[in-house]
Chains A and B, each alone.
Chain A
């Protein structure tokens, strides 16, 4: 019996329609494409390995010290994926198969691209692929501060944004990719259109420092914003609690003569204790101790806020208020008791 290629094609098409090509039967939700192929294609969708010249065709589009936001062109990434898939199709029948399957494969890649970056402790998000946005940034800040924190929000976080909500929270937009393409170029892709974007100095450990201001004749003056060591909140000159370091009283830092940058600790500590509302004393019974000094000197990472709305503040000065609890001899005593109790 002769079977014409037309009837073969008809039967194959019918088989394709009822998902006869479902690969394997061992997974709970069988996918047409095997997992390793899906992973590669999802990585392509996230532009991994795409030459930088193809992303940003001219250096003028991304000058030094600039950040450029963009929408991801889905047609472009689809063409990229189709190019990769074309490798496995050699003849007409294979092409016919692939063409029939492609809508399903595409849906599977849509799903897989959200699994590209899966930070630990966060639930996976699924669903159809939506709009992807992102930014490329070329700055010395990328090179000099590796490990920047990038967070995108659907809406402006509440006033009290000390607590950083989990990435799976409804107010956050999931980061699909965050990678340094070059020492000074950062690429980020978001799963949606963020209205607020935070880029924050890496918080590796806690740093101590001052704010420096140049004054006339090659002199530098420094101060630290006053904090109450009992509550760790900022206080103004009258000793009342304020929200940001910009409103806080400025306590001058004393320097030693003849050596640039060497802090005169004793006199600085005296200034700390003399400022109203810091809750410190410099008496012989309760001198300024190391913990109190450290608390005043703690510098918190800087956070740059990019927002679409004109009314929202462009810059929030300090990323968050210190939440260290009070530090005094009393706590040392408490600790001694704890140690004694084992």
Chain B
């Protein structure tokens, strides 16, 4: 086991069997030497066992990704860090083969340790991530995958050749981008919820960069892609270069324009296939809908249709309109007939990772299945080290401008002035005393406007716990009616402690549970103690009175009982003691522990016979049971016995009773029928004469109103 806080790194852990379907055939051979038996006379059938080695292929099970760096949807300065994903299953990157071992592709040899996974980091405009498509569509056309597929619908990354050449790793790079880390399972920080302590790590080969061309944070998507059968798409080895250029942050013009459009929120005018769209400017509802969708925007006194192409190739200008009219949804001032019908629209134009690149770039496109992907943004505003080294350090009460200024990229034009980004000065400079007190405006109880000193609980100096210790006993409990204000030598009030007291009071009041606990405490501890003292007071000079009831020996214990507040219990105890010692005199004879039972006359006679008759068993079995209850044969006999008929008895019911029941039933039915159908006799004619009631009132009048 690895020590806590340490870890081992392994280049690769290649499983003995890669994922796929296997048949294991077992054969038994019989040695026939010397028996005079021919081998063919003893045939044995082979035993075939089918084994299916599974591994994720198109979709990463959610429990497999233990950690991603940078965290999903995060924003930060990741410029000098390589994105990575930590996988739970240690063999996952080698569970499949991207190509058979030994294959030579573009002068690079596929080795056993070459993984089938790669972490690709793409920026906006460099590729398209498409989700929820049939798995057959998730691979480049012409690439065939055999074997089982773990999900019918998957995601894919569609990238043009130029992107692949620029950012994808080469085959030789792949092996360097994966490794296995062994950590201590108790080290929760390192183990991250793994079950065996071995984690597979896939690192990307690209450090996300801040967009220093546009001075904007840049969004990236990291995709864990499946490279099976597509190793030949990967780029060839290139000559080395010891630097990179910030202008290369966009791979090419297309990428730059799409990324720029994504930043500015403008749609990219596409001269391409799309849905024809009709926008009729005279149709108010259609126009409002277009405004809501963001297609039609108000810009500098004109209405622009961003999804259409104007005559000059830019956004289409629908016409001038005043801001009031636009807000009112009144488009009637637009030039009549400013309808657009020739424009093209492409869905998802404003979302750069879903931009259908295949429609605008005329290059060869590759599709790689994406097992998992996450987004993050490289904001590039200073690393942790920069921030911490430039912190403004001081004791509280130091007045300073603050430390590290957000670094502006080189591209930001130098603005003139002292600090053009600073907030306008709207208040007087803060009055800070050397003791850490600040002067704050104070409206006193009497209405006077003063400037009082205040210092919070944080002070730049070490302080005495009780500044008045020499004058008053320590500690002093302040109360609501006290005032904790102090006068300072300059004649101004110091309200620090008063504010603290009031804050504490308000915080206690704001928590009903605490107030309740305080009340309970007072009732239970203080109230009970007060009650005890009350007892003591009441009895203090009346102990003589108890002499009549209590022995002198017990009386001595009363002092202890009083101190503990158990007077009631002590009295109770001594009373019981007295009663017990004179039981006969005080209480009388004890009740006998058991009452004599009553005899049942019906059970007089032979019990065995009664039981046999009652249960319908034969008398012989009962005799056997009575003779030898533990004999197992008895049980067998009991099980095989069919209980017989006990007795045939005819019960005669009184005919008067039957007649009475029937008469009552008839009357009841008649009442029910009269309410339900309006007649006492329920027959076919009654049902045919039924009519629909318009209201409940009518129904009531019909059924209950008339005199029947």
Residues of A within 8 A of B (CB): 1, 3, 7-8, 11-12, 15, 20-23, 32-34, 36-37, 40, 44, 47, 49-51, 54-58, 60-89, 93-95, 97-99, 102-103, 106, 131, 134, 136-137, 139-141, 144-145, 199, 201, 203-212, 215, 217-222, 252-267, 269-270, 287-295, 297, 299, 302, 304, 306, 315, 323-325, 327-329, 331-332, 335, 339
**Would B387 and A21 count as touching, CB distance under 8 A?**
no
Known: A34-B520, A88-B521, A257-B238. 13 other contacts (CB 8 A): A72-B457, A72-B459, A79-B498, A85-B508, A87-B509, A144-B76, A203-B189, A258-B166, A260-B249, A262-B167, A270-B240, A327-B9, A328-B11
Are A89 and B394 in touch, CB under 8 angstroms?
no
**B515 in contact with A87 (CB, 8 Å):** yes
- For A90, the closest partner residue in chain B by CB is B522
Query: Contact check: which of A12, A77, A261, A331 meets B457 at CB < 8 Å?
Result: A77
Q: Mark B586-622, 1 if CB is under 8 A from A, else 0.
A: 0000000000000000000000000000000000000
Question: Could you list 14 A-B pairs, sorted by A, with CB under 8 Å?
Answer: A57-B440, A66-B394, A87-B505, A87-B514, A99-B477, A106-B475, A144-B387, A262-B205, A265-B170, A266-B172, A290-B11, A293-B176, A327-B11, A329-B11
Complex CA–CA separation, A332 to B8 (angstroms): 10
If A74-B463, A306-B393, A331-B8 touch, does A47 touch B457 (CB 8 Å cutoff)? yes
Whether the pair B248, A76 counts as a contact (CB closer than 8 A) is: no
Q: Which of B81, B245, B391, B400 contacts A207 (CB 8 A)?
A: B81
Check B461 for interface membership: any CB of A closer than 8 A.
Answer: yes
State whether A11 and B396 are in contact (beta carbons under 8 Å apart), knowing that A83-B502, A255-B244 are contacts in the complex: no
Contacts of B402 in A (CB 8 A): 63-66
Are A11 and B248 neighbours in the complex by a CB distance under 8 Å?
no
Do B497 and A327 touch across chains, with their CB atoms under 8 A apart?
no
Contact A82 B384 (CB under 8 A): no
B504 in contact with A80 (CB, 8 Å): yes
| Chain B window 54-83, contacts with chain A (Cβ cutoff 8 Å), 1 for yes, 0 for no | 000000000000010100000111011110
Let me know if A20 and B176 touch, CB within 8 A.
Answer: no
Residue numbers of B with Cβ under 8 A of A are 5-13, 67, 69, 75-77, 79-82, 84, 86, 113, 166-167, 169-170, 172-173, 175-182, 189-190, 192, 201, 203, 205-209, 212, 237-249, 251, 381-385, 387-406, 410, 430, 432, 436, 438, 440, 454-467, 475, 477-480, 484, 496-509, 511, 514-515, 517-522, 524-526, 529-530, 532-533, 536-537, 541
Structural contact, B242 and A72, CB atoms closer than 8 A: no
Quick check: A291 and B9 within 8 Å, CB to CB?
yes
The distance in angstroms between the C-alpha atoms of A40 and B401, with both chains bound, is: 37
**Cα distance, A68 to B485, chains bound together (Å):** 27
When chains A and B are docked, how far (Å) is the Cα of A93 from the Cα of B206?
74
CB within 8 A of B458: which of A44, A73, A261, A297?
A: A73
Q: A71-B463, A209-B207, A220-B243 are in contact. Are A61 and B396 (CB under 8 A)?
A: yes
Partner of B9 from A97, A131, A324 at Cβ < 8 Å: A324
Is B251 in contact with A258, judged by CB distance below 8 angstroms? yes
Q: How far is the CA of A77 from the CA of B458 in the complex (A)?
A: 10
Residue of B nearest to A77 (CB): B457
CB <8 Å contact, A44 and B507: yes
Q: Do B479 and A263 touch (CB < 8 A)?
A: no
Chain A neighbourhood of B499, CB < 8 A: 54
Q: How far is the CB of B434 from chain A (nearest CB, A)?
A: 14
- Asked if residues B440 and A294 are in contact (CB atoms below 8 Å), the reply is no
Check A12–B509 contact: CB distance below 8 A.
no
Secondary structure at the B interface, as helix, strand, loop or mixed, is mixed
The answer on a CB contact under 8 Å between A262 and B530 is no
CB distance from A168 to the nearest CB of B (A): 17
Query: Are the C-beta atoms of B179 and A290 separated by less than 8 Å?
Result: yes
Q: Are A331 and B10 in contact (CB under 8 A)?
A: yes
Chain B positions within 8 Å of A295 at CB level: 9
Name the one of B69, B384, B432, B459 contacting A145, with C-beta atoms under 8 angstroms: B384
What CA separation (Å) do A2 and B226 show in the bound complex? 95
Tell whether, in the assembled complex, residue B387 and residue A68 are in contact, meaning their CB atoms are under 8 Å apart: no
- Supposing A11-B537, A325-B6 touch, asked if A289 and B81 sit within 8 A by C-beta, the answer is no
A57 near B393: Cβ-Cβ < 8 Å: no
Interface pair B81/A205, CB less than 8 Å apart? no
Give the distance to chain B from A84, nearest Cβ to Cβ, in Å: 4
A75 touches B176 (CB 8 A): no
Determine if B208 and A84 form an interchain contact, defined as CB atoms under 8 angstroms apart: no
Expressed in whole angstroms, the Cα–Cα distance for A269 and B240 within the complex equals 11
Q: Cα distance A199–B463 when bound, in Å? A: 26
Alpha-carbon distance between A335 and B10 when the two chains are bound, in angstroms: 9
Please, which residues of chain A bring their CB within 8 A of the CB of B12? 289-290, 332
What are the nearest 3 A-B pairs in CB distance? Answer: A83-B504, A63-B402, A88-B518
Docked-complex contact B10 and A58, CB < 8 angstroms: no
Chain B residue nearest in CB terms to A87: B508
Q: Shortest distance in angstroms between B367's beta carbon and chain A's nearest beta carbon?
A: 20
Query: How far is B515's CA from A24's CA once the two chains are assembled, in angstroms?
Result: 19
Cross-chain contact B384 with A323 (CB below 8 angstroms):
no
Inter-chain CA distance A130–B7, complex, in Å, is 40
A71–B508 Cα distance when bound, in Å, is 25
Residue pair B533, A12 in contact (C-beta under 8 Å): yes
When C-beta atoms are compared, the residue in chain B nearest to A256 turns out to be: B238
Which of B507, B522, B530 is in CB contact (< 8 Å) with A50?
B507
Contact B392 A262 (CB under 8 A): no
- By a CB distance below 8 angstroms, the chain B residues around A136 are 396, 458
Tell whether, in the assembled complex, residue B6 and residue A20 are in contact, meaning their CB atoms are under 8 Å apart: no
Cβ-defined partner of A265 (8 Å) among B69, B176, B438, B467: B176
Which residue on chain B has the smallest CB distance to residue A60? B430
List of B residues within 8 angstroms of A332 by Cβ: 10-13
The residue from B457, B533, B536 contacting A55, defined by CB atoms under 8 A apart: B457
Whether the pair B243, A219 counts as a contact (CB closer than 8 A) is yes
Establish whether residues B522 and A88, one from each chain, have CB atoms under 8 Å apart when the complex forms: yes
A34 neighbours in B (Cβ, 8 Å) = 517, 520-521, 525
- B511 touches which of A40, A139, A144, A199 (Cβ 8 Å): A40
Q: Which residues of B contact A288 (CB under 8 A)?
A: 176
> What chain A residues lie within 8 Å of B506 (beta carbons)?
83
CA–CA, A87 and B241, complex, Å? 73
A66-B392, A71-B459, A211-B80 known; A12-B530 Cβ under 8 A: yes
* A61 touching B432, Cβ below 8 Å: yes
Residues of A within 8 A of B457 (CB): 47, 50, 54-55, 72-73, 76-77, 80
* Contact call A144/B521, Cβ cutoff below 8 A: no
Nearest CB in chain B: distance from A312 CB, A: 14
Q: Within the assembled complex, what's the spacing in Å between the Cα atoms of A140 and B390?
A: 11
A86 near B522 with CB under 8 A, answer: no
Query: In the assembled complex, how far is the CB of residue B168 from the closest CB belonging to chain A, in whole angstroms?
Result: 9
Cα(A327)–Cα(B404), bound, Å: 40
> Are A68 and B395 in touch, CB under 8 angstroms?
yes
* Closest chain A residue, CB of each to CB of B514: A40
Assess whether A205 is in contact with B463, with CB atoms less than 8 Å apart. no
Are B500 and A77 interface neighbours, CB within 8 A? yes
Residues of the A chain whose Cβ atoms lie less than 8 Å from the Cβ of B475: 78, 102-103, 106
Indicate if the CB atoms of B478 and A79 lie closer than 8 Å: yes
Residue of B nearest to A164 (CB): B5
Docked-complex contact A69 and B177, CB < 8 angstroms = no
Closest to B519 in A: A88
